[in-house]
Amino acid sequence: RGCSSRWGGIPPVPRLAAYQGAAAGPSGVWAGAPEPALPAVTPAPSLFTGSPDPSAPAAPDLRCRCSPPSPCPGQGRLQARRQLSVACAVCCLFMVGEVIETLGALASVLSIWVVTAALVYLAAARIISNDYEIEARAMLATSACAVAVNLVMAYILHQSPAGHGHGTGAYEQLESSVSCQPSRSPLPGSTSVRAAFVHVVGDLLQSVSVLVAATIIYFKPQCKIADPISTLFFSVFVLGSTITILRDVFTVLMEGAPRGLQFDVVKEALLGARGVPGVHDLHLWALTPNHAAVSVHVAVDAGADTEMVLQEVTARLQSRFGFALCTVQVEQHQEESAGCPHCQDPRT
């Protein structure tokens, strides 16, 4: 009878099952058996959060106090990136300013030419038709006011520091300290200021010519042809006065050789340095009308000190010719390089 029910035995007695359910607790442990008591555990004091007992001594500080804490690497990279961004923005601003100076001078000259062409067309039409009337009194008053205003503007632009060489103070000091400079002419002033000055001078001469024509017409009304004739005279002067500025502008835009610098003179100055038997790939060009650049390959002897040669060549280029940018490449002299087509001087 004690066999399992699956073998066809008799099921357990109901009284025994009821007694087992009453004696066992909800967790399956006999209610009559006492639970074992666990020993009390005291938490150990922590070195970082301190002891939970206020009366216990604080844990010692094991940090090193010899040097201050280093900054976060991410913060240093962020600061460096911010500084580089500001430097790039300033450089771009100056580059745009230099380009705008040249393009502004070109726009000023072209505007003068457009106005001059329109005035020449109107003057020729008046001479051909001879059908026009001139108010001599109004013309006389307007031209007199224009002469006065243009005189003031010409004086201001002529006394401007930029008109005497904008940004060339360092070059003037270098040039004054060098006694031998036969081929170096003074650096021109700002192209924009020069263009504005020529513009004002052209307006001044036009106002003077108009004033003379108005005076003639005021006293002799039959000589009204003096007005278109004065306009034609003014147009010829304007075209002649703006040619030099236009040449300087195109020299900068086309990266031509700076005015006042001669290729042979610069090459002879480089060959005069100690330990420099040869020079090739010499290039001169104008960054702006006030700043010139040079790049050159300097061939030195086998026993020459390349660092000393580099310093001497750079000093000669900056002190004698006032180059704002010097790129010098030092290399060993080779006899077979004399026949190299890339090492020949440019043909003029």
Helix (H, G, I), strand (E, B) or coil at 300: strand
Asked if 291 and 324 count as a contact pair (C-beta separation under 8 A), the reply is yes
**What confidence category does residue 97 fall into, taking pLDDT thresholds of 50, 70 and 90?**
low
Q: From 347, 346, 307, select the one nearest 330 (Cα to Cα).
A: 307
Distance separating alpha carbons of residues 266 and 319, to the nearest angstrom: 12
Sign of torsion, CA 340 344 346 348? Answer: negative
Asked if 11 and 5 count as a contact pair (C-beta separation under 8 A), the reply is yes
User: Whole-prediction pTM value?
Assistant: 0.51
Residue written as token pair 């058996």: 33
Over the chain, what is the mean pLDDT? Answer: 72
Residue type, 232: L
Asked if 191 and 288 count as a contact pair (C-beta separation under 8 A), the reply is yes
pLDDT at 169 over 60: no
Superfamily designation of domain 263-343: Cation efflux protein, cytoplasmic domain (3.30.70.1350)
Asked if 285 and 316 count as a contact pair (C-beta separation under 8 A), the reply is no
The pLDDT tens digits for 243-276 are 888 888 888 888 888 888 888 889 888 888 888 8
Select the more confidently predicted residue: 47 or 226. Answer: 226
How high is the pLDDT of residue 118? 92
Decide: residue 194, CB within 10 A, 0-12 exposed, 13-18 middle, 19+ buried.
Answer: buried
The pLDDT tens digits for 110-128 are 888 898 899 899 989 988 8
The neighbour count for residue 187, using CB atoms within 10 Å, is 21
Q: From 324, 197, 327, select the one nearest 261 (Cα to Cα).
A: 324
The pLDDT tens digits for 322-341 are 888 889 988 887 765 556 66
pLDDT at 39 over 60: no
